[in-house]
Amino acid sequence: MNWITYPVTVCKQIRMNMSKILYKTLGIFWLAALVVLKGQALTATGTGYGLTKDAATEQAKRDAVEQGLGAYMTSTTTVTATSIEDNIYSKAQGFVKSFKVTKESQGPDGNWEVTIEAEVTDMIDQVMADEAALQTLLNSMNRPRIIFMVREENLIDNTPTDFAETKLLSMFYEKGFDVVDRQMVQALKGGADYTQALAGNVSAAAKIASQLGAEVIVIGTAKISVADKLYNMHPGQADLNAKIIRADTGEILAVVPQARGKYPHISKSTAGITAVNKAADVLGKAIISQLVIKWSTQQSNFTKVYIVLKGVDFMSYMTFESFLKAQTVSGIRNAYAKGLNDGVAEYEVEFEGKSQALAMGLAQTSPDGLNFRVTGLTGNRITAEVVQ
């Protein structure tokens, strides 16, 4: 480079660098505008591939979310925007509100290709307010059944009551969730598992959930009381808390440490009942909000699936882990060996799709020198055993 061309070259380089900075800046502002604008939905096309039509559709949904929320990224800007991409999908909470299949085909190898046109939103509030969108989410999660076990302490009448649980059941039922009838739960009353579950024992609650065919458990406590009389009114107060757990994996889906309700009335009972209903309403909304965030994030990213493999020694334990990490089964993002105990191995897999698709992929392939078969399947758990 000579002294004549040097200034021109430098100017060109400066312009190129400024252009890149401008594109990135505009992209970030575009994202900010997208996240801030409530009530806004985008239409995006997504294409997915899978061993089944359902698996291909789920992948197409994720593709539509990426296309919709990542629309501002061009081939020029995305090469240096990996960290920005990661931030988008973790913060934007992309979700398919509704979709229709525009093209589908099955190849000679049996794999499916599905193209959809989807309405994509980045706002959880839209899903909470839109009944159809919430049903789309529940369908994508295989409509998990929910069981409520709330231990209620009524300090007003000192008698067993179930106002909070009844209110929660009503709220979730009206929202379209599949809830287990309270009478079915009450039929188990008096058993050791029932008593321990009410006391907060997750393992005991999981047993009850399994008996009743539920995948999600809400375990909580409620306390109802009234303060000293003030101006001829009894200030009713209720304090609730809850944790929400997947029965098959023990994964905590949501935690609400406190939900409080207050209501003054001339009648102690009315004050207490109204207060607990108010607290239950706060608790229910918080639970639903956290579940929507959790499940919609899984839909646009990945699901944790737990694999239990029986009949394993140390070498086969390590071989199966390597097999999972090699991502031979399409959709596996990562896999972790969690432990080996008395011939039973446990693994945690980050999978882009439903556990059924992973189970089918596992059933169709196996690592060299290790044969196994899938023996059980629940929402987020697969059981298998080594075949000699």
Inform me whether the pLDDT recorded for 145 exceeds 50. Answer: yes
Does pLDDT of 25 surpass 60? Answer: no
What DSSP character marks residue 290? H
Q: For residue 52, give the nearest of 349, 353, 300, 305 by alpha carbon.
A: 353
CA–CA gap between residue 388 and residue 309 (Å, rounded): 13
More confident: 136 or 13 = 136
pLDDT given at position 261: 93
Residue 304 reports pLDDT greater than 60: yes
Question: CB neighbours of 141 closer than 8 A, spacing ≥ 6?
Answer: 295, 298, 299, 379
Distance CA 256, CA 241 (A): 6
What is the model's pLDDT at position 128? 64
DSSP letter at 230 equals B
Mean pLDDT of 34-52: 66
Which of the residue ranges 10-24, 89-103, 194-208, 328-342 would you say has the lowest mean pLDDT?
Answer: 10-24
Domains and CATH numbers, the chain: 6-140 (3.10.28.20), 145-300 (3.40.50.10610), 303-386 (3.30.70)
Q: What is the mean pLDDT of residues 349-359?
A: 84
Q: What is the DSSP secondary-structure string of 15-59? A: HHHHHHHHHHHHHHHHHHHHHH-TT-EEEEEEEEEESSHHHHHHH
Task: Identify residue 31 by its one-letter amino acid code.
Answer: L
Residues near 128 by Cβ (< 8 Å), separated by ≥ 6? 134, 288, 289, 292
pLDDT range class, residue 15, cuts 50, 70, 90? very low
Q: Are the CB atoms for 54 and 111 separated by under 8 Å?
A: no
Q: Where are the alpha helices (DSSP H) in the chain?
A: 6-36, 53-69, 82-91, 124-129, 131-140, 163-174, 182-186, 192-198, 202-211, 268-300, 314-325, 355-363
CB 226, CB 272: distance < 8 Å? yes
Residue pair 290/218 in contact by the 8 Å Cβ criterion: no
- Better-predicted residue by pLDDT, 27 or 203: 203
C-alpha 277/C-alpha 274 separation (Å) is 5
What does the alpha-carbon distance between residue 303 and residue 335 come to, in Å, rounded to a whole number?
Answer: 12
What pLDDT score does 5 carry?
Answer: 41
What are the phi and psi torsion angles at 98 (to 5°)?
A: -155, 160
Give the residue, 202 or 128, on which the prediction is more confident.
202
At 68 the pLDDT is: 66
User: Which stretch of 34-38, 226-230, 361-365 has the lowest confidence by average pLDDT?
Assistant: 34-38
Task: Tell me the pLDDT band of 223, cut-offs 50, 70 and 90.
Answer: very high
Residue 153 CA from chain centroid, whole number: 31
Q: Residue 68: name the closest of 91, 34, 105 by CA.
A: 34
**Which of 72, 46, 50, 74 has the alpha carbon at shortest distance from 60?**
46
Who contacts 270 (Cβ-Cβ below 8 Å, separation ≥6)?
Answer: 236, 263
Average pLDDT over residues 35-58: 71
Q: What torsion, rounded to 10 degrees, do the Cα atoms 54, 59, 65, 68 define?
A: -100
**Other CB atoms within 10 Å distance of the CB of residue 237:** 22
Across the range 144-157, mean pLDDT stands at 89
Sequence-ordered list of residues with C-beta below 8 angstroms from that of 387, at least 6 positions apart, any chain? 371, 372, 373
CA distance 171 to 139: 18
d(CA 352, CA 335): 12
Which of these, 192, 184, 177, 185, lies nearest to 150 by C-alpha position? Answer: 185
CA–CA distance, 302 with 327 (Å, rounded to integer):
14
Q: Is the model's pLDDT at 143 over the cut of 70?
A: yes
* pLDDT of 276 above 60: yes
pLDDT tops 60 at residue 370: yes
**What pLDDT, on a 0 to 100 scale, did the predictor assign at position 133?**
73
pLDDT at residue 329 above 60?
yes
* pLDDT confidence of residue 46: 84
**Count of beta carbons in the 10 Å neighbourhood of residue 73:** 21
Q: Which of 10-19, 140-149, 274-283 has the lowest mean pLDDT?
A: 10-19
Flag the least confident range among 212-226, 259-273, 292-306: 292-306
Q: For residue range 67-110, what is the model confidence (pLDDT) as tens digits?
A: 766 543 333 344 333 443 443 333 334 567 778 899 988 888 78
pLDDT at 47: 86
155: exposed, middle or buried (C-beta count within 10 Å: 0-12, 13-18, 19+)?
A: exposed
> Does residue 91 contact residue 65 with C-beta atoms inside 8 Å?
no
pLDDT at 168: 94
Q: What is the pLDDT of residue 282?
A: 93
Per-chain mean pLDDT for the chain: 77
